[in-house]
Chains A and B, each alone.
Chain A
Amino acid sequence: MSLTKEAQHAYLGHITRRHFLKSAGAGFGAMAFASLGAAGATDLIGSPDPLAPRKPHFAPRAKRVIFLHMAGGPSPLELFDYKPTLARLHGQDCPESLLEGKRFAFIRGIPKMLGPQANFRQHGESGAWISDHLPHLGRVADKVAFLKAMRTDEFNHAPAQLFVHSGSPRLGRPSMGSWVTYGLGTENANLPAFVVLLSGGAAPDAGASVYGSGFLPTVYQGVQCRTKGDPVLFLGDPEGIPRDLRRKSIDAINTINQQQYEDVGDPEILTRIAQYEMAFRMQTSVPEAMDISREPAYIHELYGTAPGETAFSNNCLLARRLVERGVRFVQLFHWGWDSHGAGESEALNGGFLERCRETDRPVTALLEDLEQRGLLEETLVIWGGEFGRTPMLENRSGTDNPFVGRDHHSDAFTMWMAGGGVKGGITHGETDEIGYSAVSGQVHVHDLQATILHLLGFDHERLTYPFQGRDFRLTDVHGHVVHQVLA
């Protein structure tokens, strides 16, 4: 869209909203439904509501997304990328040819090679290699497409996380979830369209920017739903205000606002009336969606959940409940995969194993649960971190250290996708004998983004927004759809 079209867009939106609401003036509830209700997709242009459901460019394979971000950069060499040769090279000096022209975050000088810190075996009919650190995932191996030769441009956490989620290493661009809700709107107006769930004891390195709306209107930014306190900030009525009194307050506010509308004629007032109605409904629908305590025992058993805690397993179950209710994009962050080996909590033989234990069962459960409910077909699930890790040992202090770890590595890492139009039971891309560089099937982060948008029915080059004089898109000026993983 050019800027002129932007102006036109705003103008049309304005006109449409005005007429829409004028013709639907039968009480507040009806009006709110008319303007913001779930039924029927409309075109982007002239949409009365920025979150109304919209049709993408072509028929989509996936309607919603769950992105499981393993923040910190999980090591593929201990999870999916099986490298027996690396085991044989264990302890040897890294050849200089591998270091030339490379920038590392912490490795300086000549490091030693570090063999895989895991045993591997093959799973499913597809024979996918999965390490024993993930004993559950093998059950769903045939639903998953592994991308073994991912590459990114960044080797520090914050820029690399921004790169995966916004297509740019710098702050200020819209995140993928924002682009998707901007393009598709939402199917449940009573819940936020783009929900973010955090676990692992810390927020992502780049903060809220990894789910921010950048230059898109803030209605598209991710809403962090919390498992402690109000699930959405300020959702709960102040203590001492009962529900029916809140209802009466909103009725009084909206009655006076309606009178104001009749006096001054500003259609913005009608939108405000509708938004107060929606806020009231969200106060019921969000806590209901976020309450996992009423799930049956077998579901808790499947996921390994314990209601009331802030845990990745709870967030996986919440992700299923949210997509089931029409939330468009659910973004999970699980922090703690930064396995440098400088201390136990961030060692491959320490914290890394914990992360595997915390995530393996619920991730597997999520795929199984989505499938048994018939949701997997139209729900795209993505697993991965912001970069990979070196086949070399990182030894920052240069001294004897009981803990082992690897440095950040941007040239090769593994991510996987499942559901929503993805071909299950395949591996795309291959790295060299030590998992250092791609040999075939390299997928750049922008390619992954193009593919995700493709599955949702978008031509990634045409989902754009004008800002600072040009049309911006998630994939910047890059990106090719990876057709090999499409079902």
Chain B
Amino acid sequence: MKHLIAGYIVVAAALSVFSSCGRAPEISFNEQVRPILNERCVNCHGGIRRQADLSLLFRHEALAAAESGERAIVPLKPDESELLRRVSHADPKHRMPQDDDPLTPEQIEILHTWIEEGAQWEDHWAYVTPKRPALPDVSDPAWPREPLDYFILSRLDKEELSPSPDAKCPVLVRRVTLDLIGLPPQPEDVRQVCVDGESYETYVDSLLASPAYGERWAAMWLDLARYADSKGYEKDIGRTIWHYRDWVIQAFNDDLPFDQFTIEQLAGDLLPNATESQRIATAFNRNTMTNTEGGTDDEEFRVAAVIDRVNTTWEVWQGTSFACVQCHGHPYDPFTHEEYYEFFAFFNSSADRDLDTEYPTLPLFEEEVAERGNKLLENIAQLEEDIIARVRSNALAEERRAWETTLDQPEIIGRVRLMLQNEVKRVVATPEEQRGDGQRWTLDHIYASVSDDPELERLRTEKAEIERELRTLDAVHTPIMHELPFQRRTHVFERGSFLLKGEQVEPNTPDALPPMPEDAPRNRLGMAQWLVTRDNPLTARVAVNRFWEQLFGIGLIESLEDFGTQGLERSHPDLLDYLAVSFMEDHAWSVKSLLRSVVVSSTYRQSSRVTDELEVKDPRNRLLARGARFRLSAEQIRDQALYVSGLLSLKMYGPSVMPPQPEGLWNNPYDARRWQTSQGDDRYRRGIYTYWRRTVPYPSMTTFDSPSREFCVSRRVRTNTPLQALVSLNDPVFFEAAQALAQRMLNSESPLEAGYIYAMGVAPDLETLNTLEPLYRDAKAYYTERESDVITLAGDQGSAELAALIVVANAILNLDQFIMKA
């Protein structure tokens, strides 16, 4: 009976389509069909498992004959489509999805109508170049200040919600200051805008011009760049790459347009006449980990770094989880296994190869030794050429072949660096005429390092001496990207393993996206330029969504890292496209200009009060009928406490610093380095300058959800835990801030009020003051009786009054309103 009813519905649907012949299709592939396929079918018939030789990912695959010879989908002919027969089969043994609940009659009807209409595939919205949408009509044309407000209000109109009133001036000033420079406003800033009448826009411009702006936004970017001061893996020893961190800060402060910002980081070394700064920018991709553990295989970890570069590029610029495609076709998005390695080929010809020396690096010399240093670099380059020429000369040909055939002998192979031994064996196992340029190059270098040829020995010695002198010169060596003079061969790695090489591929971008221009170079530079063409459907959308998330707490698509077909729903599709187009066209990729347009909008300025109605209708504030309210980031929490207490050093740039942390955290069996607490100003630098060791990140930052930076991270979760309370109450860094704030309060006529004003920019309300006062009185009474505790807390010169103020300051620095951005 059930079956009959389902059949009836199908017939009815068919009739209804028949009668609507000539009209636009009824069924939307993206909205109605794809969700069914993704949820119920592609697990077995998709990019990973193609059971019965059927995949429903691409139209041409779905229309082809499967293993049985049947065609799952025959456009216009539902009766001949095996898919429909199987999903509505009465016998559970034959019905799809197998061993699972059947599709609902409604879903079957959708598929039926869709096939009848021709079974057209639609591109997923994210793979279609965005067009500028028209501004929608709104109920109250007086409300919008910026174009983006029309999109927000129009959606609120539909939901029958009204926007919240503007936040109170001091609240808004604190919000925008924390958002743009990562620090709270000074009480004077609040007065200037809220009492003295400086315009909000002028204040915003002053924030955008502040050097602190670059430090705040770099903090976000460094999570994406997986920046750290250590190499990762077992020993996780130190790495000098802070010049890159400084480059990012500078780039934000200079408002380097986002397209240029992209190109320099991915391919600055390949730009014509690349500057020092453009080459430092490429350290973005030297933030990959290096494995220095004994007995590891350099080639394995060189490949791991290349894979990380591919995955990171796709996550950062294309909001696409490309990592899946390393081992097999994408489970649900239209990217193939081969396409992964075509893209991999763009990154496969850089000179780095998991060496302990971090080769290649760019030395930045101190001025007085720069000339000598650059001269030595030239000499080394010349010697390297000579060495390779000698290795390849006929004079050594015979000796070399003999060496290759005796590599099995322990005393011969034993001279090759342990971590290269496997690779050299793999190369030698390939017949000479079949070796690629990369393999030949590897072999040349290894042979050059072990040969007994006197000429080579002479050249090696000379090079070693120059290198020794180079190390004595005052310089910072930053790992950078540098292209080999030839292309390494790229193969598809079967199941993602670097030892299982499949077919050879050439550099290319995936077919699902608009192609690279015909004349673009097929290298990293061409690839980087392709990312920022006006046609690329993802780059601008992904970027504006990230900036939006930083300000509002949730992206217009919540899954910042996944714009694919399984990504989360967009809250305001047209707004996302509007901002993306506007970012490219109106703002000419200027991040400052984009951010300015958002923070002056009416949407941004709303009060963050959660009314009962909003709590029920929109608890997560996706619709933005109110302003954002969420916890500050790990860096901001530290910086703010130090700043309001007057301790924060505003010194910028330079090597990472080691502010106090508990003893005994660095305890690596293979690395004797210890945490050397910084002295003077360096104890109080902004969090972005804190030494970031991947396996032992700074504890108070991790507690507030900063990632370990082993890999690219798009979104930090925001937890709310008791361990956080312990940090802000007891961590000596935070307690020192309370002590310093208390000193500031002591000099004021009404210290409790002053302390609150330092922290929040405005005076406390009466209730707050009435709560702090008894705490102060009780504390003072206690310390008046306990001189020894006064000395412990407030020093030899301290008084019971100061000690009590420290207790109050500690409480103020733990208030919810202080830890949150509201």
List of B residues within 8 angstroms of A242 by Cβ = 782, 789
A40 to B547, CA, bound (A): 42
Determine if B730 and A237 form an interchain contact, defined as CB atoms under 8 angstroms apart.
Answer: yes
Q: Is B811's beta carbon under 8 Å from chain A? A: yes
- A208 in contact with B696 given A226-B664, A240-B803, A276-B725 (CB within 8 Å): yes
Q: Is B567's beta carbon under 8 Å from chain A? A: yes
**Closest CB of chain B to A53's CB: distance in Å?**
17
B748-794 residues at the A interface, CB under 8 angstroms: 767-768, 771-772, 774-775, 778-779, 782, 789-790, 792-793
B611-639 residues at the A interface, CB under 8 angstroms: 611-612, 615, 619-620, 629-631
Proximity bits, A315-347, B CB within 8 Å = 1, else 0: 000000000000000000001000000000000
Q: Is A219's beta carbon under 8 Å from chain B? A: yes
Q: Is A229's beta carbon under 8 Å from chain B? A: yes
B651-696 residues at the A interface, CB under 8 angstroms: 662-664, 667-670, 694-696
List of A residues within 8 angstroms of B234 by Cβ = 156-158, 205-206
* Residue of B with least CB distance to A14: B619
* Residue of B with least CB distance to A257: B816
**Closest CB of chain B to A105's CB: distance in Å?**
3
A198 to B297, CA, bound (A): 29
The residue that A240 contacts in the complex, of B296, B789, B822, with Cβ under 8 A, is B789
Number of interface residues of A (CB under 8 A): 87
Determine if A217 and B710 form an interchain contact, defined as CB atoms under 8 angstroms apart.
Answer: no
Determine if A108 and B410 form an interchain contact, defined as CB atoms under 8 angstroms apart.
Answer: yes
The residue that A108 contacts in the complex, of B297, B413, B771, B775, with Cβ under 8 A, is B413
* Residue of B with least CB distance to A477: B48
Q: Is A265's beta carbon under 8 Å from chain B? A: yes
**Closest CB of chain A to B41's CB: distance in Å?**
14
Proximity bits, B235-275, A CB within 8 Å = 1, else 0: 01000000000000000000000000000000000000000
The residue that A109 contacts in the complex, of B410, B631, B726, with Cβ under 8 A, is B410
A17-54 residues at the B interface, CB under 8 angstroms: 18, 50
Determine if A252 and B708 form an interchain contact, defined as CB atoms under 8 angstroms apart.
Answer: no
A263 to B775, CA, bound (A): 22
List of B residues within 8 angstroms of A15 by Cβ = 619
Q: Is B525's beta carbon under 8 Å from chain A? A: no
Determine if A158 and B233 form an interchain contact, defined as CB atoms under 8 angstroms apart.
Answer: yes
**Closest CB of chain B to A175's CB: distance in Å?**
13
A94-132 residues at the B interface, CB under 8 angstroms: 103-106, 108-110
List of A residues within 8 angstroms of B569 by Cβ = 4, 7
Q: Is B422's beta carbon under 8 Å from chain A? A: yes
Determine if A171 and B293 form an interchain contact, defined as CB atoms under 8 angstroms apart.
Answer: no
List of A residues within 8 angstroms of B295 by Cβ = 104-106, 155-156, 408
The residue that A234 contacts in the complex, of B324, B620, B726, with Cβ under 8 A, is B726
A6 to B558, CA, bound (A): 11
List of A residues within 8 angstroms of B772 by Cβ = 252, 256
Q: Is B421's beta carbon under 8 Å from chain A? A: yes
Determine if A255 and B771 form an interchain contact, defined as CB atoms under 8 angstroms apart.
Answer: yes
- A11 in contact with B619 given A217-B719, A245-B782, A275-B722 (CB within 8 Å): yes
- A263 in contact with B609 given A207-B695, A468-B561, A469-B564 (CB within 8 Å): yes
User: Which of A266-274, A290-298, A375-383 lies on the face that meets chain B?
Assistant: A266-274
Q: Is B729's beta carbon under 8 Å from chain A? A: yes
Determine if A3 and B611 form an interchain contact, defined as CB atoms under 8 angstroms apart.
Answer: no
**Closest CB of chain B to A336's CB: distance in Å?**
8
List of A residues within 8 angstroms of B820 by Cβ = 266, 268
Q: Is B717's beta carbon under 8 Å from chain A? A: yes
List of B residues within 8 angstroms of A198 by Cβ = 667
List of B residues within 8 angstroms of A275 by Cβ = 720-722, 724-725
List of B residues within 8 angstroms of A302 by Cβ = none
Determine if A469 and B321 form an interchain contact, defined as CB atoms under 8 angstroms apart.
Answer: yes
- A108 in contact with B722 given A2-B566, A256-B771, A259-B767 (CB within 8 Å): no
List of B residues within 8 angstroms of A278 by Cβ = 722, 725
Determine if A229 and B664 form an interchain contact, defined as CB atoms under 8 angstroms apart.
Answer: yes
Q: Is B573's beta carbon under 8 Å from chain A? A: no
The residue that A209 contacts in the complex, of B331, B559, B708, B814, with Cβ under 8 A, is B708
A242 to B703, CA, bound (A): 25
Give the interface centre of B772, B774, B811 by most chain A CB atoms within 10 Å.
Answer: B811
List of A residues within 8 angstroms of B321 by Cβ = 468-470
The residue that B815 contacts in the complex, of A157, A218, A256, with Cβ under 8 A, is A256
List of A residues within 8 angstroms of B667 by Cβ = 198, 201-203
List of B residues within 8 angstroms of A18 by Cβ = 615, 619
**Closest CB of chain B to A465's CB: distance in Å?**
12
Proximity bits, B102-133, A CB within 8 Å = 1, else 0: 00000000000000000000000000000000
Determine if B811 and A253 form an interchain contact, defined as CB atoms under 8 angstroms apart.
Answer: yes
**Closest CB of chain A to B787's CB: distance in Å?**
11
List of B residues within 8 angstroms of A229 by Cβ = 662-664
A121-178 residues at the B interface, CB under 8 angstroms: 155-158, 170-172
List of B residues within 8 angstroms of A105 by Cβ = 294-296
Q: Is A373's beta carbon under 8 Å from chain B? A: no
List of B residues within 8 angstroms of A271 by Cβ = 720
* Residue of A with least CB distance to B779: A245
- A253 in contact with B814 given A233-B662, A266-B610, A266-B629 (CB within 8 Å): yes
**Closest CB of chain B to A158's CB: distance in Å?**
4
List of A residues within 8 angstroms of B297 by Cβ = 103
Give the interface centre of A103, A170, A235, A257 by most chain B CB atoms within 10 Å.
Answer: A170
A389 to B556, CA, bound (A): 53
Known interface pairs A252-B771, A470-B566; 17 further A-B residue pairs with C-beta atoms within 8 A, sorted by A's residue number? A3-B566, A3-B567, A11-B619, A104-B295, A106-B295, A110-B410, A205-B668, A207-B694, A223-B723, A234-B726, A240-B792, A253-B814, A266-B608, A268-B631, A268-B720, A275-B721, A275-B725
Q: Footprint of A on B, CB under 8 Å?
A: 39, 232-234, 236, 289, 293-297, 304, 315, 321, 323-324, 331-333, 409-410, 413-414, 418, 421-422, 558-559, 561-562, 564, 566-569, 608-612, 615, 619-620, 629-631, 662-664, 667-670, 694-697, 699-700, 702-703, 705, 708, 710-711, 717, 719-727, 729-732, 735, 767-768, 771-772, 774-775, 778-779, 782, 789-790, 792-793, 803, 807, 810-811, 814-817, 819-820, 822
29 contacts between A and B (CB under 8 A): A3-B562, A3-B566, A106-B418, A156-B296, A158-B293, A205-B293, A234-B723, A238-B793, A239-B792, A239-B793, A240-B789, A241-B807, A248-B775, A248-B779, A249-B729, A249-B811, A255-B771, A256-B772, A256-B815, A256-B816, A259-B771, A260-B817, A268-B630, A275-B724, A275-B725, A282-B722, A469-B333, A469-B562, A469-B564
